[in-house]
Amino acid sequence: MRGLVLAGVLILNSAAIAAAVEPPPGAPKPVVPPKSIPLAGEEPYEALKQGDYRVAAVLFSPRAEKGDVRAQYNLGLLYASGMGVVQDYQAALKWHRLAAGQGHAGAQNELAQMYAKGQGVQQDQVRAYVWYSVAGESMTGGSKTEIMKDRDHMAKRMTPEQIQKAEGLTKQCLDSQFKKCGEK
């Protein structure tokens, strides 16, 4: 008897819950937005947005190995900052060089900064100037203005001969579509 009463209570509770959840007959059904599902290929960027840098690094790696320029650039940023991976300027340099060679202006700017600061490479004002110039040619708007300011600031610490050499290397790099930029 107790079991029968318990079953009756459960049925009545279920009916009450269903009535509260279900709209009355003839009423429009509420629109429930679908759960946001990343588009195929966007998973590493979603991980970045959520601050899960370790997962982002794992997801970027195979894409970067296959030549995905955005993945190379982002993996370089993660290695340079030590977010999600052990900080490794050599790895950052590798990924930024690969992305810069494909014309990625952000990676070109990162290379300029690495040469300017001596991160993962010997400090080299000429190469920093080259990469600031190349990145500036690849960008537009406010970003270009900031990069050119960085380049001009670098030039203040250079000799006229160094600037002349850097401008020649910049021309060679741009003319070769980033294939001959003095990188190894």
pLDDT per residue over 86-112, tens digit each?
Answer: 999 999 999 999 999 999 999 999 999
Nearest Cα to 165, choosing from 136, 124, 113? 124
Residues 71 and 92 occupy one common structural domain? yes
Looking at 102, 125, 154, which one is the last position of a domain? 102
Residues 51 and 98 in one domain: yes
pLDDT band at 25 (very low <50, low <70, confident <90, very high): low
DSSP H helices in 82-121: 89-101, 105-117
For 179, other C-beta atoms within 10 Å of its C-beta total 10
In angstroms, the CA 48 to CA 37 distance is 15
Look at residue 183 in the predicted model and tell me its pLDDT: 74
Domain boundary among 102, 130, 147: 102
How would residue 6 be classed by pLDDT, with cut points 50, 70 and 90?
very low
Same domain, 49 and 94: yes
What's the CA gap between 5 and 98, in Å, rounded? Answer: 72
| CA-wise closest residue to 59 among 68, 80, 102 | 68
At 181, give phi and psi (nearest 5°).
Answer: -115, 15
- Cα(99)–Cα(67) distance, rounded to whole angstroms? 8
- Residue 68 sits in the same domain as residue 91: yes
Domain holding 92, by residue range, is: 39-102
Count of the separate structural domains present in the chain: 2
Cβ distance 117 to 123 under 8 Å? Answer: yes
Predicted confidence (pLDDT) per residue in 46-78, tens digit: 999 999 999 999 999 999 999 999 999 999 999
